[in-house]
Amino acid sequence: MMKNIPTLLATVTLATLAGCASLPAWLEGEQNHPLFTPVNYRGDAQLSADIQRVAFLPIHGGDIASPEATTVMDTVLLTALQRQVRFEVVVVSREDCQRLFGAGDYASTAALPHGFLEKIAEKYAVDAVLFTDLTVYRAYRPLSLGLRSKLATIRDVRLVWAFDEVFSAEDAKMVNSVRRYYREGDRSAPVDPTPAVLQSPTRFGAVAADVMFHTLPAR
């Protein structure tokens, strides 16, 4: 009886490995589906060596989204930006922005207070500033999220990168991007998380932010 133990263990090990190697049904065959490709952006091909630290300003929601929703999106976009590892990200809180300049956030298209960039550079020791606006925010089905973002240097006040797109849960290519994003993040999910993501502004926003920040100039 003891002689059969190695064979039994080998059989169990092979079965376990086979189970780990297999993918859930929802992942099989989706790799080649067309993904959402943004087109409304421009920027340098590569970041200059003098852009090492970037101030991440609070997102401007204006009348598009509630203050609570905008604050949540701060965290969503910050996480996506840090994943790119293009530069060191220095967070400017809404409280600091309010205390320094009299407002919790500023739109990328707004007139800035006098000395805004200089004060940001002095306080946070950064080389550039990233502005981001919510241009569309529909939290109910079908979800829709508009993101506009600009990266500008402080020393010579030059626009390094600009992005402006609207992401819709009705866009089949964006749905494919959602599925791909969560496939790469969690290959063990037993069911397709896409339907749930398409009902969650934060989870959908994470994919949109990832798509956007992938277009940043390379390091």
Indicate which CATH number applies to the domain containing 175: 3.40.50.10610
> What secondary structure does DSSP assign to 92-124, as a single string?
--HHHHHHHHSSS---TTSPPPTTHHHHHHHHH
Q: Is residue 177 part of a domain?
A: yes
pLDDT of residue 20: 44
Q: Is residue 20 part of a domain?
A: no
Domain of residue 188, residue span: 40-213
**Cα 197–Cα 199–Cα 202 angle in degrees, nearest 5:** 65
pLDDT of residue 184: 81
Q: Is residue 25 part of a domain?
A: no
Local confidence pLDDT in tens for the 219 residues of the chain: 444 544 433 443 433 433 444 555 555 555 668 999 999 999 999 999 999 999 999 999 999 999 999 999 999 999 999 999 999 999 999 999 999 999 999 999 999 999 999 999 999 999 999 999 999 999 999 999 999 999 999 999 999 999 999 999 999 999 999 999 988 875 556 678 899 999 999 999 999 999 999 999 998
Inter-residue contact 167 to 174 (CB < 8 Å): yes
Angle between helices 67-84 and 201-213 in degrees, nearest 10: 40
pLDDT of residue 183: 83
Q: How many domains does the chain have?
A: 1
Q: Is residue 7 part of a domain?
A: no
Q: Is residue 44 part of a domain?
A: yes
Q: Is residue 129 part of a domain?
A: yes
Q: Is residue 23 part of a domain?
A: no
